[in-house]
Amino acid sequence: MVTSASPTTDPTTDPVAPSPGTPAVITPGEGAAAFEQDVDPVSPNRNLAPLTAQLDGLGRLWVGGCLLSDLARTYGTPLYVLDEATLRATCRAYRLALAEHYPGEALALYASKANSSLAITALVASEGLGLDAVSAGELLTALQGGMPAERIVLHGNNKSAEELQLAIARGVTVVLDNWSDIELLQGLAASRPDPVRLLVRFTPGIECHTHEYIRTGHLDSKFGFDPDQLEAVLRHLAGCPWARVDGLHAHIGSQIFELEPHRDLAGVMAEALALARSLGHPCGDLNVGGGLGIRYVGSDDPPSIQEWVRVVATAVAEACRQRQLALPRLLCEPGRSLVATAGITLYTVGSRKEIPELRTYLSVDGGMSDNPRPITYQSLYTAVLADRPLAEATETVTVAGKHCESGDVLLRDVRLPAAAAGDVLTVFATGAYNAAMGSNYNRIPRPAAVLVHEGVADVVQRREQPEDLLRYDVLPARLAPVT
């Protein structure tokens, strides 16, 4: 169910509302000082706030034409807010950069593990992008959200027979990750009249300076065939009438600020492409994965989308030219860099605990169940008070979640204005891997999500209720309470 509501303050009539098209340049204390950077309207991954972030005459923060504190009152908190204009701008940035810098065909595939929903799928599909899925749930979301099957690829290092069956029945390209994939597909597809479209994933052996858990390109990885297996795999598939190897895939990590590893990747993949074609495979696609980073805090300085695409596209084209290879269709898989900056999370401030000369804890009504990244990856974020983003930062606080876990901390030792119970806290760049990695820890319901655009908020994910968490519980009759 999708519902719509206009903000209680109308930006077209309220005398203190922001002027349309005027971005917020926010310069308060340390917690939001990073807004001093110029807004990049072409490459949103280099911004902290969504493109439509604005301040009204009272200094309150708006996104998508909606007053954030009104959204919190109307829909409750925690609340995921996704700015449609920013997400569309990022989709277009990838599409236009590929068209400008790559001399052949190209397609950006949204890595939907970052944030999978019907609304996001429909929006991304309408912008002409494709999508990669890693489960039956993500695949069904993509298909029901309107993504054409021919623009979907299915990843996964342990695909089930049911997932593979769904993919081949719908005409989705399967990314082969290991010999188990091949064995399962042999049984599922051998009798089909048309071969299954495949990409073969291998580990290119390229390291990136990123978090240990999100490096996927080095040799010690659960993903993909080892390089020394690639020729054997391709020779085997050449004898499989059910298989059509349409291309190759490799991915070197996530939240990457370096560009040189992508140049290295192009040469490795071009060598593999030459091998595959020499063995008779059509191999018209080369999928270089994703990994471009975003700005979470002011000190982050990621490359722009245009710069990343230029480096990748130029390197692939040059590597193919050197080897006299016909240009493949270039595929890439942006996830975080596509959706993270478009998203923010709103919380309501609750209790305060002051430990003299040590720390002040400011608790909010969410935490690790709606954003597990700080406790999992020690991730950093930027936050402001929604109605006082320009107020002087007068205290250092640690923003804690409400879960029964000492490590449930969203922001540690950040500078904020004095906050009281009931204030709305805005955390930026939460569009990727927050909702997707959320949980019901402590049996806390998942938040609602709204898509905001030109003053209208559409509910795209309903808030769970405590009773929803009992839906799949089964109480054996012998344990039922006696009435």
Tens digits of residue pLDDT in 329-356: 999 999 999 999 999 999 999 999 999 9
- 380 backbone dihedrals φ, ψ, rounded to 5°: -105, 150
Domain presence at residue 250: yes
Q: Does residue 325 share a domain with residue 188? A: yes
pLDDT of residue 39: 85
Q: Rounded mean pLDDT of 9-24?
A: 55
pLDDT of residue 205: 79
Pairing of strands 79-83, 343-355: antiparallel
Q: Please give the full DSSP string across 94-106, using - where no structure is assigned.
A: HHHHHHHH-SS-E
Domain presence at residue 153: yes
Exposure class string for 59-82: b at 16+ Cβ within 10 A, else e = ebbbbbbbbbbbbbebbebbbbbb
Pairing of strands 424-428, 343-355: antiparallel
Where a domain ends, among 313, 339, 365? 339
Nearest to 31 by CA among 399, 342, 374, 357: 399
DSSP 75: H
Domain presence at residue 164: yes
Domain presence at residue 368: yes
Domain presence at residue 474: no
DSSP 16: T
Report the alpha-carbon distance of residue 438 to residue 242 in Å, rounded: 38
**Whether residue 404 lies in the annotated active site:** yes
Q: Is 172 helix (H, G, I), strand (E, B) or coil?
A: coil
Q: Is 139 helix (H, G, I), strand (E, B) or coil?
A: helix
Domain presence at residue 434: yes
CA-angle at 46, arms to 377 and 457, nearest 5°: 85
Q: Does residue 103 share a domain with residue 47? A: no
Domain presence at residue 478: no
- 142 backbone dihedrals φ, ψ, rounded to 5°: -65, -45
pLDDT of residue 318: 98
Range with lowest mean pLDDT among 15-24, 238-247, 380-389, 456-465: 15-24
Where a domain ends, among 307, 339, 371? 339
Q: Is 40 helix (H, G, I), strand (E, B) or coil?
A: coil
Q: Does residue 51 share a domain with residue 65? A: yes
Q: How is residue 343 written in tokens?
A: 């998203």
Per the structure, the count of domains in the chain is 2
Query: pTM (2 decimals)?
Result: 0.92
In tens, the pLDDT along 253-283 reads 889 888 988 898 999 999 999 999 999 999 9
Nearest to 337 by CA among 258, 256, 249: 256
Q: Does residue 264 share a domain with residue 190? A: yes
Domain presence at residue 65: yes
Where a domain ends, among 314, 339, 364? 339
Q: With bands split at pLDDT 50, 70 and 90, how would you rate the model's confidence at 220?
A: confident
pLDDT of residue 428: 98
Q: Which residue range(s) make up the domain with 189?
A: 86-339
Q: Rounded mean pLDDT of 94-120?
A: 98
Q: Rounded mean pLDDT of 183-206?
A: 93
pLDDT of residue 262: 87
Range with lowest mean pLDDT among 115-119, 130-134, 216-220, 222-226: 216-220
What number of helices (H) and strands (E) belong to the chain?
11, 21
Q: Does residue 430 share a domain with residue 312? A: no
Q: Is 136 helix (H, G, I), strand (E, B) or coil?
A: helix
More confident of the two residues 193 and 342: 342
In tens, the pLDDT along 51-98 reads 999 999 999 999 999 999 999 999 999 999 999 999 999 999 999 999
Does the pLDDT at position 29 exceed 90?
no
Furthest-apart CA atoms within the chain: distance in Å: 80
In tens, the pLDDT along 345-397 reads 999 999 999 999 999 999 999 999 999 999 999 999 999 999 999 999 999 99
Q: Is 252 helix (H, G, I), strand (E, B) or coil?
A: coil
CATH of the domain at 141: 3.20.20.10
CA distances (Å), 138 to each of 51, 131, 223, 403, 467, in order? 27, 10, 19, 28, 25
Q: Does residue 28 share a domain with residue 144? A: no
Report the run of H or E that residue 81 belongs to, with start and end: strand 79-83
Q: Does residue 347 share a domain with residue 389? A: yes
Does the pLDDT at position 3 exceed 50?
no
Report the alpha-carbon distance of residue 403 to residue 443 in Å, rounded: 10
Nearest to 250 by CA among 284, 273, 234: 273
More confident of the two residues 39 and 160: 160
Could you give the count of Cα atoms lying within 13 Å of 376 in the half-sphere of its Cβ?
14
Q: Does residue 260 share a domain with residue 134? A: yes
Q: Is 247 helix (H, G, I), strand (E, B) or coil?
A: strand
CATH of the domain at 24: 2.40.37.10
Q: Does residue 230 share a domain with residue 99? A: yes
Answer yes or no: are the C-beta atoms of 242 and 186 closer than 8 Å.
yes
Q: Does residue 288 share a domain with residue 238? A: yes
Q: Does residue 219 share a domain with residue 129? A: yes
Answer yes or no: are the C-beta atoms of 385 and 421 closer than 8 Å.
no
Q: Does residue 368 share a domain with residue 335? A: no
